[in-house]
Structure 1
Amino acid sequence: MERASIKALVQEVVRNTLQASKKQVQIAVSNRHIHLSPQHVERLFGRGYELKKQKDLSQPNQFAAKETVTLIGPKGRIQHVRVLGPARGNTQVEISLFDGYTLGVKAPIRQSGDIKGSAPITIQGPRGQLQLEEGLICASRHIHMHPQDADRFGVKDGDMVDIKVEGERGITFSNTLIRVSEKYKLEMHIDLDEANAANIRNGQLGEMTAVYCAPTKDGGV
């Protein structure tokens, strides 16, 4: 291994260790985007079509595709909404609350994947249009963690935490959901509205200041 690669690896290990000791987490700002099922990829882009990778995302095996779509609501539309890959089991559109005003729809604040009874939306692609009865949400802020990260931070999947962010418009994000999986890399996700409110940029650090344990099956904590 080259000296530069070794140095970069050591620096990353040291940085991660320091962040864990202070219970700090890197923040990523998530703009509006859409996850499509394989069937809906074909509906919008043509039979047999496969998403084309534009760039890798921070979470393992996730990527921003070259493809974009237009969201159409009762009052307006938003163009050039990025498709994220790979294709998923169910189509899900994630927007900010402000985007909802633009479109004229009220997107419920939900955990990713919880789309039952969510808002309807029309999606326009280059080869077709799709009308969803449900699938439009405003994603609740959350932190992706590998199980090793969860052990270091003393939390478990489903816990809620407070994250304090320093700065000119310093803020504490309460009700931040912990999501734990071996597929995840440590990172907090907030939407554009939340980032703008606190003048947060990608890569900024937040510190965990409180943990609210997830309820157990018998109703306790």
Structure 2
Amino acid sequence: MGKTILVETSARHVHLSQADLETLFGEGYVLTNKKDLSQPGQFACQEKVTVVGPKGETKMSILGPTRANTQVEVSLTDARALGVKALIRESGDIEGTAGCKLVGPAGEVEIPCGVIAAKRHIHMTPADAKEFGVQDKDVVSVEVKSADRSLIFGDVICRVSDSYALAMHIDTDESNAAGAPCEGTIIK
């Protein structure tokens, strides 16, 4: 195919529902945009929450804007440190996953589910998908080339929408394995 894809590391983070945001930070609270992310409309927030599991806890960044459901995205290494079994899922697919406690400055929330290790994926526009010869939900392999640790990631889901910008997202465990930052090429 020839065209490369930016491979970005998605570090552990939390997406909050508006109700959970208000429980953690106070009624009517609005997230503060610290930095825009590569996906249009997405941003890293100034605010952080403490994520508490059976074995440990850690502060995590919040990504905005708010969502319909609260979700905690971690690497499998993060999940072990927290003592939580994180299932590998697409973002938003939280049914049947582990829960945890979130602690903010104004309160705490026990989420019954929502802790996941995000399935590696590529965000792309319909034009990008056409250029790569893929469709939404296609599963591909991506060859990632880096200075010292090139590898091939299998089971990469293509996510196609007009609201996306072309980028592959992997978690910190995968990023370390590949020696990221790096670029990738779809090899199907």
Q: Which bracket does the TM-score occupy, shorter chain normalised?
A: over 0.9
How far apart are the structure 2 equivalents of 1:152 and 1:136?
Answer: 34
Partner residue of 2:54 out of 58, 63, 74: 74
TM-score, normalization: structure 1?
A: 0.83
Shift of 1:184: 0.3
How far apart are the structure 1 equivalents of 2:187 and 2:28?
Answer: 49
Q: Does 1:163 align with 2:163?
A: no
Compare the two structures and name the one with the higher helix fraction. 1
Q: Does 1:103 align with 2:82?
A: yes
Matches within 5 A, 1:30-109: 30-79=10-59, 81-109=60-88
How far apart are the structure 2 equivalents of 1:52 and 1:190?
Answer: 25
How far apart are the structure 2 equivalents of 1:100 and 1:64?
Answer: 21
Q: Which residue of 2 aligns with 1:185?
A: 165
Partner residue of 2:184 out of 183, 206, 220: 206
Kindly provide the amino acid, as one letter, of the partner of residue 58 in structure 2. I
How far apart are the structure 2 equivalents of 1:35 and 1:199?
Answer: 27
SS in 2 for 1:135: strand
Kindly provide the amino acid, as one letter, of the partner of residue 164 in structure 2. Y
Kindly provide the amino acid, as one letter, of the partner of residue 180 in structure 1. V
Deviations 1:101-132 (A, max 9, x none): 11011100000010001111110001100001
How far apart are the structure 2 equivalents of 1:165 and 1:138?
Answer: 20
Shift of 1:23: 3.2
Compare the two structures and name the one with the higher strand fraction. 2
Runs of 4+ residues deviating >3 angstroms: none
Aligned CA RMSD, in angstroms, stands at 0.8
Shift of 1:169: 1.1
Q: Which residue of 2 aligns with 1:131?
A: 110
How far apart are the structure 2 equivalents of 1:119 and 1:23?
Answer: 38
How far apart are the structure 1 equivalents of 2:87 and 2:153?
Answer: 18
Unaligned runs of 5+ in 1: 1-20, 211-221
Shift of 1:166: 1.9
Q: Which residue of 1 aligns with 2:133?
A: 154
Unaligned runs of 5+ in 2: none
SS in 2 for 1:152: helix
SS in 2 for 1:87: strand
TM-score, normalization: structure 2?
A: 0.97
How far apart are the structure 1 equivalents of 2:178 and 2:63?
Answer: 26
SS in 2 for 1:137: strand
Deviations 1:58-78 (A, max 9, x none): 000111111000010101101
Say which one has the larger Rg.
1
How far apart are the structure 2 equivalents of 1:190 and 1:28?
Answer: 6
Kindly provide the amino acid, as one letter, of the partner of residue 186 in structure 2. M
- Indicate the structure whose relative CO is greater, using CA pairs within 8 Å and at least 6 residues apart: 2
Kindly provide the amino acid, as one letter, of the partner of residue 37 in structure 1. S
Q: Which residue of 2 aligns with 1:7?
A: none
How far apart are the structure 2 equivalents of 1:172 and 1:23?
Answer: 16
Shift of 1:89: 0.7
Matched pairs, number: 187
